[in-house]
Chains A and B, each alone.
Chain A
Amino acid sequence: MNYILHLLVYFNIYVIVAMSLNLVVGYCGLLTLAHAGFYAIGGYTYAILAINFGWEFIPAALAGAAVAAMLSLFVSVSAWRLKGDYFVMVTLAAQALIFSLLYNWTSPGEPLGSLKNLTNGPFGITGIPRPVLFGWRVATPAAFAIFSTVIAAACLFVLWRLKTSPWARLLLSMREDELAARGLGKNTRLAKVQAFAIASGLAAIAGALYAAHVRYLDPSSASLDESILMLSMVLVGGLGNFRGPALGAAILILLPEVLRFLHLPDAQAANLRLLIYGLLLVVMVHVRPQGLAGEYRIQ
């Protein structure tokens, strides 16, 4: 039972991540590899605020979202001029920068969260407290599953409102023909900044949820592999609509679990799983380049 609840929490976390990433990749048409960086920033902010200052979940997660939204400016401002491959390179650089900051902002002997040892480096942060909500501690797995579902629902509600707003239409117009949109007087640069800030903020909330669930956080949350996993969810599920990323998140979370039940020989299991996973992705890209439930095909 706990296993199922654990999967549900994971699904909730990655649904937020995939949907927020869809805002940038699917609606703006900008491929980013920095998403895991902002996700990890949310996790770290929550962890440090909760351990050092005893903050509750919601203010700490919102603080993480604010930090991530601020830092997303580095990526979104470069999207003013860059497009396509060059923009991907910038996001890759941003991702590497965040990862190495989290990995290296440490010095032995100093207390965690101080200016000299903000992140505890490669050792990670242990003993992250369970989330506190208005004085009530979310302790049991079932309570946490419900809690994460509520948070995810709130995030999806925000995204749904945005998706049905004229703002989303502006993003779609920009994706289709940025020059024409600018010719109509649309400030597409501002729209990019907004989209990145919102997407990064939501990813940070998902990161805080992850930190509170696993109760341990190390820089691997900000790794390139993690970014690619997030991007795969969006690409497999489908871009530019609401159900696609949710489907992608469900598939990519369940796939390794299903492969676990294949009783592969232990020595090769991990490699074989990766092989099957890679093969599925290649087939997917060939057979349905727009994703399983997508509307838009990234160029």
Chain B
Amino acid sequence: MLRAEGLRKAFGGQVVLDGVNVELHRGQVVLLRGENGSGKTTLLNILTGNLEPDAGSIHYLADGSPRTYRFPRRWWQELNPFDHFVPEFVAREGMGRTWQDVRLFGSQTLRENITVAEPGHPGENPLMALIAPARSARKEKQLRDQADTVLSRFGLAGREDSSADKISLGQSKRVAIARAVAAGAKILFLDEPLAGLDRQGIADVLSLLKTLVRDHTLTLVIVEHVFNQPHLQGLVTTDWLLESGKLISSLRQGGEQSQLDPSLSIAHHPSPIVSRPAWFHLLAGDNAEIIDEPLTRGALLTRIRRPDRFKPDNPPILEIRDLVVKRGPRVVIGGESSTTGGMNLTLQTGEIAILQAPNGWGKSSLFSAICGHIHSVGNVLFRGQDINLKRSWDRARAGLVGVGSNDALFPSLTIRDAASLLPSISTTIRDQSTSRISSLSGGERQRAVMHFSNTRHTPGSSLAIYDEPFAMLDHAAAIEAARQIVNTNSSTIFLIPSSLAQQKETV
């Protein structure tokens, strides 16, 4: 259905893809694997028309009329606006894709998100909309019914009129897949479809993908984080491994493993130490006292009190009293019922605290509220002083170090420039110091964030808060990040990782 030959792509001299050959057949389910920065997302972007390769050719054969693009493109091909290598034309050849950050049309309802995908809708021609509104309305009615059927089949019945920015992450991922299928996708490229989901969300998306492969003989190409790859067993028929610019394709012994990964059925139990990821053990060290403290709505706060950092008579460094955070009209944190007030939380100086919570709990909102990026109601006491009315930069100066997830970089600066804003920088990242931050892969960016943040800690009694510190890092990189976190000058550390359920890597 799709054949690509000799694909090459380099970013500023760094060769990412070097003669990649790809062949896809109907009903195949491909797992695309590779190290951080090996070009998984680049390959996905090229095959879906979002990025033009430097050389090679792509043949789209899924549709009745095959279409071939050869690269590099000639200048006269650019003169014809209907012959450009752009995502909309590639999508019409039956290529669909979903994004890691979902990208639904937030102000529209779920039903509209599905109906808008219909290819060749007569009402999308303004002239037809003007002179033949009845025809467009008939089609529209039919599409709305279809969309409702699709939504209810995907377990979203009753949510048709919800606005797309008001549903949970797991639901929105399913809607995004439904939307791509409604747009006529025959090959579906999924960029981390399980990322950020808890167990229930993963199970829902997986069963949806199975249905699509079985009933619609859809072809899937999945890029997934190493932690989530075991969930895909039984679904995947082919492995693609990207290594130093080459693609190695291998068939899996599929078929007999139709059961879901057994670990899925294990109930979500708080943290028995064996299920904790390797970075946790590194943070805890030896002889640490570990306290699990349940919070509201299924969250769990784990306090690590290492004898070298924590003294029992230490004063609290962060006290949160009656905190209520709203995003728009929606209450994200606090106010679960009319009787209980906001959220309460106290951290003692010297602790390493880890907050685990399901998706949609408001982890990122809590991070933003403590750092002062968003408005919140209630008291936030930092070293005894209420800072909740202070601006974020005043909080930073007072010793509150907030390290956001990887979007908190300056994308157009080079690594050297970004590092010069913050003096000391480790050597591993200096190797690439002239490339732009925007050219780094997701995992490399996260590493850069960790490196940069290290220079911001002031010695003494400061507090460092990390939002999703291990996101997009593979095993070794996560360990390295944890090592850096332990070695910072901050006395107290507060980690808010993405759901631990997916990070089942153990020592």
Contacts and interface: CB of A to CB of B under 8 A. Distances in A.
Contacts of B404: none
A161 B129 CA distance: 7
B96 A183 contact: yes
Contacts of B86: 182
Interface centre among A177, A181, A183, A188 (most CB of B within 10 A): A183
B88 interface: yes
A166 B108 contact: no
A176 B106 CA distance: 7
Contact of A170 (B92, B99, B116): B116
Contacts of B130: 158, 161-162
Interface stretch (B176-184, B213-221, B267-275, B444-452): B176-184
A85 B125 CA distance: 29
Given A166-B123, A169-B116, A183 B108 contact: no
A277 interface: no
B255 interface: no
Given A167-B124, A184-B179, A185-B92, A172 B107 contact: yes
B88 A187 contact: yes
Contact of A185 (B105, B112, B125, B184): B184
Contact of A183 (B87, B115, B124): B87
Interface string B91-132: 110001101000111111000100111010101111001100
A194 interface: yes
B88 A185 contact: yes
A150 to B, nearest CB: 18
B18 to A, nearest CB: 26
A198 interface: yes
A173 B105 contact: yes
Given A162-B129, A167-B129, A185-B119, A176 B107 contact: yes
Interface string B130-168: 100100100010000000000000000000000000000
Contacts of A295: 107
A198 B88 contact: no
B48 interface: yes
Given A180-B99, A187-B88, A165 B123 contact: yes
Interface in B429-460: none
Contacts of A165: 123-124, 126, 129, 133, 136
A173 B104 CA distance: 9
B89 to A, nearest CB: 8
B304 to A, nearest CB: 41
B174 to A, nearest CB: 16
A180 B123 contact: no
A190 to B, nearest CB: 9
A169 B108 contact: yes
A273 interface: no
A188 B129 contact: no
Contacts of B184: 185
Nearest to B179: A184
B106 A179 contact: no
A189 interface: yes
Interface centre among B96, B107, B179, B184 (most CB of A within 10 A): B107
Interface residues of B, number: 37
A191 B185 CA distance: 22
Contacts of A177: 103-105
A169 B124 CA distance: 8
Interface centre among B81, B107, B126 (most CB of A within 10 A): B126
B179 A179 contact: no
B50 interface: yes
B147 to A, nearest CB: 12
Given A161-B129, A173-B116, A198-B126, A184 B91 contact: yes
Contact of A176 (B92, B105, B136, B180): B105
A194 B91 CA distance: 21
A180 B103 contact: yes
A182 B87 contact: yes
Contacts of A172: 105, 107-108
B134 to A, nearest CB: 11
A180 to B, nearest CB: 4
Interface in A234-263: none
A6 interface: no
Contacts of B96: 183-184
A184 B87 CA distance: 8
Given A166-B121, A169-B108, A177-B103, A183 B116 contact: no
Contacts of B88: 182-189
Interface string A52-83: 00000000000000000000000000000000
A194 B105 contact: no
B79 to A, nearest CB: 13
A182 to B, nearest CB: 4
Interface string B166-197: 00000000000001100110000000000000
Contacts of B180: 183-184
Contacts of B183: 184-185
Contacts of A183: 48, 50, 87-88, 91, 96-97, 180
A167 B179 CA distance: 17
Nearest to B102: A180
A173 B92 CA distance: 17
B179 A194 contact: no
Interface in B49-90: 50, 81, 86-89
A181 B86 CA distance: 12
A80 B92 CA distance: 19
B114 to A, nearest CB: 10
Interface string A151-170: 00000001001100111011
A294 to B, nearest CB: 12
A182 B112 CA distance: 16
A179 B126 contact: no
B116 A184 contact: yes
Contacts of B91: 182-185
Interface centre among A176, A177, A180, A187 (most CB of B within 10 A): A180
A165 B124 CA distance: 7
Interface in A246-299: 295-296
Interface string A188-204: 11010010001000000
A182 B104 CA distance: 13
A169 B87 CA distance: 19
Q: Which 3 A-B pairs have the closest CB atoms?
A: A165-B129, A185-B91, A166-B123
9 contacts: A162-B126, A166-B116, A169-B108, A173-B108, A176-B108, A180-B103, A183-B48, A185-B92, A186-B116
Interface of B: 48, 50, 81, 86-89, 91-92, 96-97, 99, 103-108, 112, 115-117, 119, 121, 123-126, 129-130, 133, 136, 140, 179-180, 183-184
Given A177-B103, A180-B99, 13 more contacts: A165-B129, A166-B140, A177-B104, A182-B88, A183-B87, A183-B96, A184-B88, A184-B179, A185-B88, A185-B91, A185-B92, A194-B126, A198-B126
